[in-house]
Amino acid sequence: MFGAEEKARLTTPAGTLRIILGLAGQDIFVEEVAEGAGSPPPAPHRGLEHIGLAVDDIEAAAADITAKGGQLARPVTSPRPGVRICFVAGPDGTLVELIERR
């Protein structure tokens, strides 16, 4: 949905799956939680609670995501002058923040 590309898929020494994604020139490692690790506490917690992506036009970005089948977890708001944000629902309760700064 965000233009990330899968760069690698491997098994770690602990036997868990790791996927490496390339997004906007950055590598993002997404790793499976080991069996028996238990559930994380409610947000905010250790691990990935959300990731933020800067966009030039938040309305267009939100429309593109929903057209691709994504769902907004929180609608577009303006928490302070010159900043507009919204959150996209990701897997396992992870949020993807879209942020537009003017």
pLDDT digits (tens, 9 = 90+) for 56-82: 999 999 999 999 999 999 999 999 999
46 pLDDT higher than 60: no
Most confident by average pLDDT, 42-51, 77-86, 88-97:
77-86
Give the pLDDT band of residue 41 (cuts 50, 70, 90). Answer: low
Closest Cα to residue 56, out of 46, 48, 64? 64
- Calculate mean pLDDT across residues 22-40: 78
pLDDT digits (tens, 9 = 90+) for 90-102: 877 778 899 999 8
For 67, the enclosing helix (H) or strand (E) is: helix 58-67
Q: Which domain holds residue 98?
A: 43-102
Q: What's the Cα-to-Cα distance from 44 to each of 2, 23, 25, 52, rounded to whole Å?
A: 24, 24, 27, 15
Distance CA 22, CA 7 (A): 6
pTM over 0.85: no
The confidence score (pLDDT) of residue 14 equals 80
CATH number at residue 82: 3.10.180.10
User: Is there a single domain that holds both residue 22 and residue 59?
Assistant: no
Please, which residues bridge with residue 22 across strands?
5, 27
User: Is there a single domain that holds both residue 47 and residue 94?
Assistant: yes
